[in-house]
Amino acid sequence: MFLPFSTHFYVDSGLLLFSLYYTLLCLCFLMYCWVLADPVCGYFLKNCTIRGNLSDPSNMKVLCYNRNLEVIPIAIPRKVSNLDLAMNKVSKIEKLDFKGLSNLKILNMPRTQISQVENGALGYLEALQVLGLAHNRLTTLSDYLFQGLANLSLLHLDNNLIATISSSSFQTLSSLKTVNLTKNNLYNMKEVQPIVQLPHLQELYIGSNRFTSFQSQEISNTSIELRLLDLSRNPLGVFRITADVLPYLEVLDIAYCGQLGRMEWDVLNRSFLSNVNRLNLSGIEMSFKRMGMVLQTVNSSLVHLRMQDLLNGSSVLRLEYNNIGNLSEEFLQSCKHMTEVDISNTGLTQLSEFSFRSIEQLSAFKLGHNRLSSVPKATRNLPTLKILDLSFNIINKLGCSDFSNLTGFTQLFLFHNQIPNIKGEFKSLTSLKTLLLYDNQIASMEDGAFEGLVNLTELNLEILCSRDFHFLRTLDISCNYITYVNDGKLDPPPFSHLTSLENLRIFSQRHKGLSHLPINFLEGLKSLLSFQNEFTALTPKLFRPIPRLNSLYLSKARIQSLDFLIAANLSRVTFLQVSKNDITVVNETVLQSLPALTYLDMQDNPFTCGCSDAWFVQWMESDNQTQVVGAGEFTCNYPADLKDTKLLDVELQFCTVDLGLYCYISTTCLVLLTLVASFAYHFLKWHVIFGYYLFLAFLYDTKQRNKLTPHGCQYDAFISYNAHDKPWVLRELLPELEGKQVWKLCLHHRDFQPGKRIIDNIMDGIYGSRKTICVISHRYLESEKLVKRRTYLSWPRAGEQTGVFWQQLRVLLRPCVNLSNII
């Protein structure tokens, strides 16, 4: 094509550089806006899970536990109030890791392999109330470790390797109430002095360390609020209190102390431990006689005494009876106010009827993990008893009068025994709310087995039996043997009486689940809120009777598609767990049919990664109502080349070109266009104008051609020639072409219409002819340069043959030759 500008294009290079620079700047700015336009405004944070309501930061949680993290993630939302980094591999907390998290109240970092915390690293957390650093590798608590944590009230440092505590490390922790230093390497009570003198300290746990003595002269200025001291499992040889350093102590745990054989107990004055009402003396190697003497040193205010692991086997048990009988009046005085007796895990085989009669206020009696073969008579005639735990025994029969007088019972734990049948033994337990009977050998149940349990809200047993529980709220029939051969209706529906049931759980570890669930299986459960199962073949109809459902757990159910939820009308469901299924893609319509959804668990599904997921990925990253747990771990199963790639790492952005990208591209184009236009106008004004006219001419040309094509041409050729060449045209050209070859030519002096504008005549002539013949002579060239760019025929010089010329001209004039060729 012929270019309108070619040679004299000059450039001011400074101006050009400036313009390029300006363009780049614009592009960078646009790129920056593009990045900014995609902020972390949804629930998505790489390697972490955000939970809670984004518009209510007071309870927003960021959960990053168990992710193999080696550094603290960046971009944690500033307004987070609860951050969980448990179970990672962050060995060192760097100075700036928590910068800006001034709203953080709870920081949980157990099992994170921390051995070092840089000075001041925790200082940004000015609102922190709970700090969890348990199960790490800290060895020393240095001077500036906790600086700035003025609001800290709970500190977990258990299971570290701490041996030394610097004297000023706790100085600024004026709000600290509870410190857990269990399982460390502390050996000198003086190390604990900076802690016990904190003004608001209430609970101190220093069990399982290496203290060999506890002596009151080693500590001083103790917090007057200190009410709990856990010294258990230290090799204490001496427990000596000679001054009133623990005046308000209520709970003293020295269980399993004195492993060195014996423990010297020296409490000078009864008043020193006068407020202790809970005392744990389990596992201490002491004779009952000495134990009695120990008990005489505490005031009779004791309401809770634990003496686990003191009685081994039945012979010792008898001795124990005798001892209890023989114990001094003082001991019985000590027991008088007890509300809870815990003699679980002692090898007990029986308990006499009157053992605990003197305890007037007993409300909880824990007898689990023993070798009782029947419900002990000692549990009868305890009118205040509310909770009885008989789990993990070998009870193999229930008697009719076992529970007959216990009308105040609210909780009865009988799980893990050998009970074979039930025939109405619970009849009188009218206040019972929780009855746990699972893991027995129940083979039969008589009619009315659970009659009278009108207030029962939680029943856990293995056999489906549900007639009598109008108030039942939770039913767990996991581990069952139920099977149905098809999904046909049951008559009557199994749960039709359970109109108050809110939670139904049917996990089936023992069987591989049901292949069919009858379509009226859930009929009657009009209050059901939560349904958990592991079955397959769920049809939308199943959900019709349970309109209030808000939580649905369908893990391990071999579900391949969630489409059945669309027709199920689960508009109230807020919690959906469909992990460990065979779901490959998620249809947008499914999530649209769950408008209330706030929690979605789809972990461990074999996703097919492709453009069909693009919307899903975008939705997960941006939706601020629904939290998709573990989204960062969703893994592709198909196509093969993406297998084991994380779904969120697959490049899907080309599938969804969103509005932002359109805006970006069009803005960029607009800017570039403006630049080019102003450039062109500035430097190439005349070329632009010329180009404009050329363009107009092109349009005209096209129009004319369209006009003429259908009619065919008026002439075969239009002859363009200089006035000086007219004689040649009339003498040589005209006779040859019109005479010999009978072409029809258009000559301006002969064929132009008089009175018409010259330019119109020329145009009509050209467009009315199939070809244009230019007669080019030196004179012609003087005004018409462009012919140099075209092929042309030359008239032979004097003396040469003219035949070839005429022959070539004839060929070119033939209709099939391209019209635009200029001869």
Tell me how far, at minimum, the Cβ of 89 lies from ligand NAG, in Å: 10
Measured at the CA of 635, the angle between CA 630 and CA 641, to 5 degrees, comes to 160
Among 30, 40, 106, 127, binds ligand NAG (CB under 6 A): 127
Among 313, 420, 547, 660, binds ligand NAG (CB under 6 A): 547
The Cα–Cα gap between 535 and 518 comes to: 11
- From the list 253-261, 321-329, 488-496, 713-721, the region that binds ligand NAG by CB under 6 A is 253-261
Tell me how far, at minimum, the Cβ of 447 lies from ligand NAG, in Å: 21
For residue 59, the SS3 value is helix
The Cα–Cα gap between 208 and 473 comes to: 42
The Cα–Cα gap between 349 and 367 comes to: 10
For residue 253, the SS3 value is strand
Q: Nearest 5°: phi and psi at 786?
A: -70, -15
Q: Is 764 in the site for ligand NAG (CB under 6 A)?
A: no
Q: Is 527 in the site for ligand NAG (CB under 6 A)?
A: no
The residue (of 308 and 508) whose beta carbon lies closer to ligand NAG is 308
Query: Which H helix or E strand runs over 394?
Result: none
Q: How many residues does the chain have?
A: 823
The Cα–Cα gap between 416 and 438 comes to: 7
Tell me how far, at minimum, the Cβ of 232 lies from ligand NAG, in Å: 4
Write the Ramachandran bin of 258: left for phi over 0, alpha for psi from -120 to 50, otherwise beta. left
- Residues 549-608, interacting with ligand NAG (CB under 6 A): 563, 566, 569, 571-572, 587, 589, 598
Peptide bond into 639 cis (omega under 30): yes
Kindly determine how many residues on this chain lie close enough to bind ligand NAG according to the rule CB under 6 A.
60
Among 84, 138, 234, 278, binds ligand NAG (CB under 6 A): 278
- Residues 131-170, interacting with ligand NAG (CB under 6 A): 134, 151, 156, 158-159
The Cα–Cα gap between 708 and 456 comes to: 99
Among 81, 88, 180, 393, binds ligand NAG (CB under 6 A): 180
- From the list 20-28, 45-53, 140-148, 679-687, the region that binds ligand NAG by CB under 6 A is 45-53
181 vs 120, 206, 304, CA distance in Å?
22, 5, 24
User: Residue 354 CA to chain centroid, in angstroms?
Assistant: 56
Contact predicate 534/515, CB 8 Å: no
506 vs 464, 510, 522, 529, 688, CA distance in Å?
10, 11, 12, 14, 80
Residue type, 356: F
- Residues 364-423, interacting with ligand NAG (CB under 6 A): 380-381, 401, 404-405
Q: Is 282 in the site for ligand NAG (CB under 6 A)?
A: yes
Among 62, 80, 255, 809, binds ligand NAG (CB under 6 A): 255
Among 6, 55, 592, 818, binds ligand NAG (CB under 6 A): 55
The residue (of 163 and 684) whose beta carbon lies closer to ligand NAG is 163
- Residues 612-671, interacting with ligand NAG (CB under 6 A): 624-625
- Between helix 288-296 and helix 313-326 the angle, nearest 10°, is 40
Tell me how far, at minimum, the Cβ of 13 lies from ligand NAG, in Å: 45
Among 418, 430, 496, 532, binds ligand NAG (CB under 6 A): 430
Find the residue with minimal CB distance to ligand NAG: 280
The Cα–Cα gap between 692 and 145 comes to: 77
Tell me how far, at minimum, the Cβ of 117 lies from ligand NAG, in Å: 19
Pairing verdict, β 364-366 and 340-342 = parallel
The Cα–Cα gap between 462 and 119 comes to: 56
The Cα–Cα gap between 639 and 551 comes to: 33
The residue (of 46 and 290) whose beta carbon lies closer to ligand NAG is 46
- From the list 68-76, 348-356, 412-420, 550-558, the region that binds ligand NAG by CB under 6 A is 68-76
Tell me how far, at minimum, the Cβ of 240 lies from ligand NAG, in Å: 18
Q: At which residue do the structure tokens 């209890």 appear?
A: 324
Enumerate binding residues for ligand NAG (CB under 6 A): 41, 46-47, 53-56, 67-69, 73, 126-127, 134, 151, 156, 158-159, 180, 182-183, 193, 197, 205, 220-221, 232, 253, 255-256, 270-271, 274, 278, 280, 282, 299-301, 304, 306, 380-381, 401, 404-405, 430-431, 455, 547, 563, 566, 569, 571-572, 587, 589, 598, 624-625
